[in-house]
Chain A
Amino acid sequence: MGAIITLSLLGILVLYLGLYKAKNALLPVSILGLLLALGFEAYYWNVEADPLYSGMVIFDHFSLSFSMLCIALTILILLLSKEYFRAISNNIAEYYTLILFSLTGAILVCSYHNFAMLFIGLEIMSVALYILAGIRRNDKASNEASLKYFLMGAFSTGFLLFGITLLYGSTGSFDLAAIKQHIVDNPTGISPMFYGGILLLLVGLCFKVGAAPFHFWTPDVYDGSPILITTFMSTVVKIASFAGFLKLFSMVLVPLNEFWTPVLLTVVIITLFLGNVTALMQTSFKRMLAYSSISHAGYMLFAILSIGANSASGILAYSAAYGLASIVAFGGLILVKRQVGSDHFESFNGLGKRNPWLAFSITIAMLSLAGIPLTAGFIGKFMMFSNVMNDYHTVLLILAAINAAVGVYYYLRVVVHMYFMKSEAEQTVSMPVNFQVVFVVAVILTIVLGVYPDLILRFI
């Protein structure tokens, strides 16, 4: 709870700093506040976890570890933002505030224990993003992204709410524990309305995490938003949505898995193929990352598909690896685009010569996203695959392996462009200090987690 209060107050404080023109204080204050919130989360680690405030939120190891991951990734993203927002507009304070509020929503989604909190968390998270996606107001793509995200998000929220209503109508409670108790008490007498509710919830949540066939907003929104906001969307928001998704299914709906497993299995297979095959055909690096984030959503759904003791830690490891690698990839894209002015693969040509260190970081990130051993991405994929293996979903496993191979192809394409293609422009790509810090941290963490995965796996 300390973290949520800190972040809400921090958002308001940053707004006031913007009012009094203290522009240089914005970033340090935000980072300090985030560190404080991180400290609060760490402090609650050893406190007995009980649902608080009439069962509204719970801060168990699951929610704390996902919240900490979200906060840490936000710190890295904000570090990249130093000169970034200033180039877009004058109202920098508001952007920091919106990001902080969005993070507050993400933490609520990680730690809800009542559907009312899930809904409010998701809404806080999304409403801030609808605006952030459109902050480049003179850019048509940014406007389109914002409007599309808003309409699709509102639509999906409708599905989610209807699902929650149906669950309430058949169990008489919004509380996760009470609903679970209802399922356990009446194994045969569950009302058909409840199943309808599950389906609608599934639709709503798949919209939020961007799984096919509810992914239509993802490429355009990720492509049209400013790169830094895309980074935030595809890491923090996605991870939080998955935490909420997993919590609902692992805590409440496990006894009914015979009903929803086939549905989710279809979603996973469609997601994997659509994400990977379309990513293969992209010429823009940013759009490729957008499609690949769809396929990553597919891999992460594995953990929900075969819920077991390892699901939570598997998804945590996967999302940590994915988040770190995405931040490096998008950060590299910001630098390259600043220099070359385009986000196509060709702009990466010869980067190995123009800035070897940047090229190396991006290579590590790509290897991690592709799931090559000795990077964190491998551990994540390994955990997901072993989850599915335990459940004997052999067909899914084969399909997933094919997709992973396809993934390696398009991730390595960037590496090939960086090292084996000559560029016309020979000038070096400069790299500001804040980017260097973030890249060093992210690359080291990626390798450390890849070599010694226990660091993150024993969290939950």
Chain B
Amino acid sequence: MTIFYFVAFLSIFFALMTIFTKNPVHSVLYLVITFFTFTVHYILLNAQFLAVVNFIVYMGAIMVLFLFVLMLLNLNKDTEPMKSHLVKFMGVIAGMCLLVTFLGAFRVLETNNEFVQGHADIGLVKNLGKVLFKDFLLPFELSSILLLTAMVGAVLLAKKETRTNQNG
């Protein structure tokens, strides 16, 4: 339990650092560390598959992509849009309301709830595979359409267009 609290503290700390640093590259690096602490959480929960996927895909691939995009966009302080104080103020109020609502909801939860404790071995690759290919076979297959759509779209948006547009 003490490891959990330590890692949870680190998660929240680095998540806050992500949004409070001025430099976008530092922000992404803090996000990487945040994801790393999530990986530790998954291991603590005995969800090995999720931990590995999170480590490789999110921390590895997606974060590197983030850094590349940042490099290409060449963000700096001048391009940062100015937000008015009113918007910031409203954002803080709305965010705090959400936070209070959920803290209120989570506070009354019993921790020995069977759904919270769950099935200890559910996160192992073997069990996950069984669930994925038995109960959730249809969504699994249909997500191929989602990926195909995204692929077609990426090619479509990136391809060179010769014709100019007309009205219509």
Chain B 135-157 residues near chain A, CB threshold 8 A: 135-139, 142-143, 145-146, 148-150, 152-153, 155-157
Interface membership of chain B positions 69-88, coded 1 if the CB is closer than 8 angstroms to chain A and 0 otherwise? 00000000000000000000
Number of CB contacts from chain A to chain B under 8 A: 119
Cβ–Cβ contact A338 & B153, under 8 A:
no
Interface class of chain B by DSSP: helix
Cβ–Cβ contact B168 & A137, under 8 A:
no
Which residues from B are CB-within-8-Å of A196? 101-102, 105
Beyond A87-B168, A196-B101, A199-B101, whether A169 also contacts B150 by CB under 8 A is: no
Chain A 78-94 residues near chain B, CB threshold 8 A: 84, 87-91, 94
In the complex, residue of chain B having the shortest beta-carbon distance to the beta carbon of A135: B156
Q: How many residues of B contact A (CB 8 A)?
A: 38
Stretch with Cβ within 8 A of A (4 or more), from B20-28, B48-56, B106-114? B106-114
Stretch with Cβ within 8 A of B (4 or more), from A49-57, A264-272, A283-291? A49-57
A151 at the interface (CB under 8 A from B): no
Interface membership of chain B positions 98-122, coded 1 if the CB is closer than 8 angstroms to chain A and 0 otherwise? 0001101110110001111000000
Beyond A89-B161, A138-B164, A226-B168, whether A94 also contacts B156 by CB under 8 A is: yes
Which residues from A are CB-within-8-Å of B113? 191
A134 to B101, CA, bound (A): 37
A341 at the interface (CB under 8 A from B): yes
A124 at the interface (CB under 8 A from B): yes
Which residues from A are CB-within-8-Å of B2? none
Q: How many residues of A contact B (CB 8 A)?
A: 57
Cβ–Cβ contact B165 & A334, under 8 A:
no
CB distance from A366 to the nearest CB of B (A): 22
In the complex, residue of chain B having the shortest beta-carbon distance to the beta carbon of A4: B142
Interface class of chain A by DSSP: helix
A172 at the interface (CB under 8 A from B): yes
Which residues from B are CB-within-8-Å of A417? none
Partner of B167 from A11, A102, A131, A338 at Cβ < 8 Å: A338
Cβ–Cβ contact A131 & B156, under 8 A:
yes
Interface membership of chain A positions 114-139, coded 1 if the CB is closer than 8 angstroms to chain B and 0 otherwise? 10110010011001101100111111
CB distance from B112 to the nearest CB of A (A): 13
Cβ–Cβ contact A128 & B167, under 8 A:
no
Cβ–Cβ contact A193 & B164, under 8 A:
no
Beyond A192-B108, A193-B106, A337-B167, whether A98 also contacts B114 by CB under 8 A is: no
B residues contacting A by CB (< 8 A) are 101-102, 104-106, 108-109, 113-116, 134-139, 142-143, 145-146, 148-150, 152-153, 155-157, 159, 161-168
Sample of 11 more A-B contacts, CB < 8 Å, known A191-B108, A193-B106: A11-B145, A53-B137, A90-B163, A98-B156, A105-B145, A120-B139, A131-B156, A135-B156, A171-B115, A191-B109, A196-B101
